[in-house]
């Protein structure tokens, strides 16, 4: 039985995305908002809206007690966490269950396992899944890191055990650099995730970042929806994504998909999730991590498969079994996404908050814009700089590139700096056009 009312514990474009899916499914919605977001479109479009506190995230969007209270006040029977904020917080998922509210996502136990990268790594090794060589457990000191790095060979990378998104990560090419990096990575991990623990891996130079979208229901049915290429990154933050990948052939696609499903089954994963891999130039693949939530880049998968991933999340959480079988999933055409950030590429991508004077959105065949901004909208300094996503679909990769360039040329935001113009340079680059990319592509641009 579907939910009568869902609370969306998020803001911005992802809150709107979930609200729209709910409306099409005949489900009532409750928005939550901070003082800074009272004029946001997700507040306007929801059936009900509840103020959950001041602008600072820890007083509003990270305030578990206030969000649970808002769900109870409005008789919401489920909570969709979106991405970021509390979406991968096992305590929040458990708090929902303890209060007889359905959490639209995997179980608290699965989130805890996936969120602790060291535990997840050990689990995968036990399954025989190929992971990047590195420490078997938490690295407790710089001396221990150096002892492990020696046999592995430099460069190595330190990673936060309790989080991702590029925070708490440091690359070291020498023992001295590793010693210096340890304290910085640990401090950053503690500040970002409340957990200073680190683990260490051999650093794979110039890899591709390939991820597999999976769906799993509570009856034990699993499918994957193909791959996304996420190699265009700046400081480990993805900027451009596409599906499929021009580097992944049918054999590798089958292997990665089967591996992703194997992992999902082994950890009892339910709902939508992403299994992330690094793939080297010789197509050797290494499992990297589980992202236990809907991804920012999920639209490119929706565009080439025709599957509404947010709708599937809701149906699975409501206890329904997957109606889709693996043979039903056929990748049709090519999709690309550019993350539109309120940041200044000319100033090292520093955030650019302020009031938007005017917006002109692109349109035409095969163009989708997921955003919450409008004329005179105030971009505050309190949250992530993402203000929208430009997604295109076309029959093949060259056509998708041309369509994206056309859409970028039509997209106009005045009053603040954005990444729109920067993407034009990327799509004009001959190496990008022929698919010669890796996670360091942007570093090599002139």
Distance CA(407)–CA(368), nearest Å, equals 10
Residue 128 resides in a domain:
no
Mean pLDDT on 244-248: 97
Report the pLDDT value the prediction gives residue 255, as an integer from 0 to 100: 97
Q: What is the DSSP string of 36-83?
A: GGTT-HHHHHSSEEEEEE-SSGGGTTT-HHHHHHHHHHTT--EEE--S
Residue 369 resides in a domain:
yes
140 and 89 belong to one structural domain: no
Residue 198 resides in a domain:
yes
Exposed, middle or buried by CB within 10 Å (0-12, 13-18, 19+), for 164?
Answer: buried
Q: Is the pLDDT of residue 411 over 80?
A: yes
Q: What would the pLDDT profile of 87-141 be if each residue is shown by its tens digit? A: 999 999 999 999 999 999 999 999 998 888 778 878 888 888 988 888 878 999 9
Q: Is the pLDDT of residue 167 over 90?
A: no
Distance CA(35)–CA(382), nearest Å, equals 11
Among 169, 202, 235, which residue terminates a domain? 202
Mean pLDDT on 417-438: 97
Task: Break the chain down into helix, strand, coil percent, rounded to 5.
Answer: 35, 25, 35
Residue 118 resides in a domain:
no
**Pick the catalytic residue: 208, 293, 397, 403?**
293
Residue 255 resides in a domain:
yes
Distance CA(170)–CA(184), nearest Å, equals 8
Report the pLDDT value the prediction gives residue 235, as an integer from 0 to 100: 83
Report the pLDDT value the prediction gives residue 171, as an integer from 0 to 100: 92
271 and 397 belong to one structural domain: yes
Residue 123 resides in a domain:
no
Among 104, 124, 141, which residue terminates a domain? 104
In the chain, the percentage of residues whose pLDDT exceeds 90 is: 85
Mean pLDDT on 203-207: 88
Find out whether 138 and 120 touch, Cβ atoms under 8 Å.
Answer: no
Exposed, middle or buried by CB within 10 Å (0-12, 13-18, 19+), for 323?
Answer: exposed
- How is residue 423 written in tokens? 């993407």
Residue 222 resides in a domain:
yes
Report the pLDDT value the prediction gives residue 210, as an integer from 0 to 100: 98
Q: What would the pLDDT profile of 383-407 be if each residue is shown by its tens digit? A: 999 999 999 999 999 999 999 999 9
Report the pLDDT value the prediction gives residue 362, as an integer from 0 to 100: 98
Distance CA(299)–CA(307), nearest Å, equals 9
217 and 176 belong to one structural domain: no
Among 65, 85, 104, which residue terminates a domain? 104
Q: What is the mean pLDDT of the chain?
A: 95
359 and 291 belong to one structural domain: yes
H or E, element range at 273: strand 271-279
Q: Which domain holds residue 266?
A: 208-444
Q: Measured at the alpha carbon of residue 268, what is the angle toward residues 262 and 273, in degrees to the nearest 5?
A: 75
**293 tagged catalytic:** yes
At residue 189, the 3 state secondary structure works out as helix
In the chain, the percentage of residues whose pLDDT exceeds 70 is: 99
Give yes or no for a cis peptide into 387 (omega within 30° of 0).
no
Using alpha carbons, list the distances in angstroms from residue 39 to 35, 50, 79, 127. Answer: 9, 13, 22, 49
Residue 109 resides in a domain:
no
Distance CA(44)–CA(190), nearest Å, equals 36
Q: Is the pLDDT of residue 190 over 80?
A: yes
Report the pLDDT value the prediction gives residue 204, as an integer from 0 to 100: 87
Q: Is the pLDDT of residue 446 over 70?
A: no
Domain count, the chain: 3
Find out whether 231 and 238 touch, Cβ atoms under 8 Å.
Answer: no
């Amino acid at each position: 039985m579907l939910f009568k009312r869902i609370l969306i514990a998020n803001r911005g474009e992802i809150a709107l995305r979930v609200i729209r899916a709910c409306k099409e499914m005949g489900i009532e919605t409750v928005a939550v908002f901070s003082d800074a977001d009272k004029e946001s479109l997700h507040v306007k479009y929801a059936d009900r809206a509840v103020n959950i506190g001041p602008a600072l995230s820890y007083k509003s969007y990270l305030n578990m007690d206030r969000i649970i209270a808002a769900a109870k006040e409005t008789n919401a029977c489920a909570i969709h966490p979106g991405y970021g904020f509390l979406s991968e917080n096992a305590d929040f998922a458990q708090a929902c269950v303890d209060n007889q509210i359905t959490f639209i996502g995997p179980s608290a136990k699965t989130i805890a396992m996936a969120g602790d990268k060291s535990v997840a790594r050990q689990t995968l090794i036990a399954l025989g899944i190929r992971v990047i060589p590195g420490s078997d457990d938490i690295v407790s000191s710089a001396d221990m890191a150096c002892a492990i790095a020696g046999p592995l060979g430099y460069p190595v990378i330190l990673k936060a055990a309790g989080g991702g998104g590029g925070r708490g990560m440091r690359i070291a090419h020498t023992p001295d650099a590793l010693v210096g990096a340890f304290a910085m990575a640990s401090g950053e991990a503690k500040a970002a995730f409340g957990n200073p623990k680190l683990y260490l891996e051999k650093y794979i130079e110039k890899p591709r970042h390939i991820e597999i979208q999976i769906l799993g229901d509570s009856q034990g049915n699993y499918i994957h929806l193909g791959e996304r290429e996420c190699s265009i990154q700046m400081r480990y933050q993805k900027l451009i994504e596409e599906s499929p990948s021009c580097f992944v052939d049918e054999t590798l696609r089958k292997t990665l998909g089967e591996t992703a499903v194997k992992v999902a089954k082994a950890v009892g994963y339910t709902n939508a999730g992403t299994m992330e891999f690094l793939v080297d130039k010789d197509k050797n693949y290494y499992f990297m991590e589980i992202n236990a939530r809907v991804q920012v880049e999920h639209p490119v998968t929706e565009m080439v498969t025709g599957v509404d991933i947010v709708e599937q999340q809701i149906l699975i959480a409501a206890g329904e079994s997957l109606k889709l079988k693996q043979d039903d999933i056929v990748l049709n055409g090519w999709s690309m996404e550019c993350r539109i950030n309120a940041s200044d590429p000319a100033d090292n991508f520093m955030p650019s908050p302020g009031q938007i004077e005017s917006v002109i959105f692109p349109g035409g065949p095969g163009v989708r814009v997921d955003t919450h901004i409008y004329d005179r909208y105030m971009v505050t300094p309190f949250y992530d700089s993402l203000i929208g996503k430009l997604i295109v679909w076309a029959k093949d990769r060259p056509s998708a590139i041309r369509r994206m360039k056309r859409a970028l040329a039509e997209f106009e935001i005045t009053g603040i700096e954005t990444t729109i113009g920067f993407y034009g340079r990327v799509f004009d680059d001959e190496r990008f056009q022929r698919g010669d990319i890796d996670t360091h592509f942007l570093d090599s641009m002139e």
